[in-house]
Structures are given as C-alpha cells and as structure tokens.
C-alpha cells in the first residue's frame, strides 16, 4: 500500500485519540529478557523494540508511523511495565502502562503522558500471541500481536473515528 503525505491524511482529534489508544494498548503487550522472566507469559514480548508501520484511514489514505518501546517484566514474570514513544509527520505520543497476567488472562491500564489520556486493556495471551481490546473515554479498539524471537507484528482495528487500521512491525533491539 502506498504511503501518502500528511496533507492527504487528515486525522481528526478523535481519530488521533483512537490511534493513541490502539498503540498504547499494543504497547502493554510487549517488553527485557532475563533468566527470572523467561518462564512468564510475557517472555516472548520482553526487551527493547524499534519499528515502523502505517496508519490507514477509513478513506484508504495511509501515513507512516515509527515507534520505539522498552518493556520490563516483574520479578515473578506475571506483570509487565512499558514505555512506548511513537511519532509520524502528524503527531508524537508517550505511553506508559502496566498489565498483569493471571493464567492466559491479561488486564491492566495505560496513560498517554503528554495528553493525560488513560484507559484499560483486557485480553488473552498464549505462546507469544495476544488478542484483546483496549478502551478509554469514548473509544475502543481490537488488537492482535504476534511475537517471535526478534520480530513482532501488531495489528489494531479502532472502532469508530476515521482510523481503519494500524499495522506496526517491530524488531527486538540488540
């Protein structure tokens, strides 16, 4: 799919908030590998990641987005803290969050620091795959994350607004 310039992709304030929520929720499912964490449900997600992808509007216009993330697991491996910074030609955001897994169920919260927007995430995690939803005031998005050794694929589908899909491919930092 061809990327278009900022002038051809008009993101309204609500669309930006939906995108922010989607990327924030995705961040909650990623994370620094250590021996103590290797058996936890987030083991395949842990580490420092960088990548890019695109945001596609409901009109079909697309804009490139770049992200970097750092994720650390709790001592027992069941909790995950994250920091995610993403930017495009149109915006920049800084997301912090924390999630906990109980078995395959995941729940937690996130906050976008510069805009003071917050919400929650719920879903299921199993063998490097997360399926769930993120929500905040006035928005929701479905999210799917697939993680292998050094690559992670994130797909988000916001509900409502002018963003149709967010796709990001991240690589684990060295």
Mean pLDDT of 29-36: 36
Please provide residue 70's backbone torsions phi and psi, each rounded to the nearest 5 degrees. Answer: -130, 130
| Residue % of the chain over a pLDDT of 90 | 30
Which is nearest to 134 in space by CA: 125, 126, 123, 145?
A: 123
The full set of domains in the chain, from first to last, is 6-172 (2.40.128.20)
Q: What is the pTM of this model?
A: 0.74
Decide: 168 and 23 in contact? Cβ < 8 Å.
Answer: yes
Q: How large is the average pLDDT for residues 119-124?
A: 95
pLDDT surpasses 70 at 15: no
Identify the three-state secondary structure at position 55: strand
Which band of pLDDT confidence, cut at 50, 70 and 90, is reported for residue 121?
Answer: very high
């Amino acid at each position: 799919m061809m990327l278009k310039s900022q002038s051809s992709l008009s993101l309204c304030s609500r669309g930006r908030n939906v995108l922010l929520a989607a990327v924030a929720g995705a961040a909650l499912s990623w994370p620094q590998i250590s021996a103590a964490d290797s058996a936890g449900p987030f083991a395949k997600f842990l580490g420092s990641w960088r990548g890019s992808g695109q945001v596609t509007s409901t009109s079909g216009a697309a804009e490139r987005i770049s992200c970097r993330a750092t994720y650390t697991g709790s001592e027992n491996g069941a909790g995950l803290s994250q920091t995610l910074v993403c930017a495009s030609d149109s915006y920049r955001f800084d997301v912090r969050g924390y999630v906990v897994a109980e078995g395959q169920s995941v729940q937690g919260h996130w906050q976008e620091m510069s805009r003071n927007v917050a919400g929650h995430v719920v879903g299921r995690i199993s063998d490097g795959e997360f399926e769930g939803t993120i929500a905040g005031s006035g928005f929701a998005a479905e999210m799917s994350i697939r993680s292998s050794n050094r690559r992670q694929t994130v797909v988000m589908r916001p509900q409502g607004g002018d963003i149709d899909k967010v796709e990001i491919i991240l690589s684990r930092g060295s």
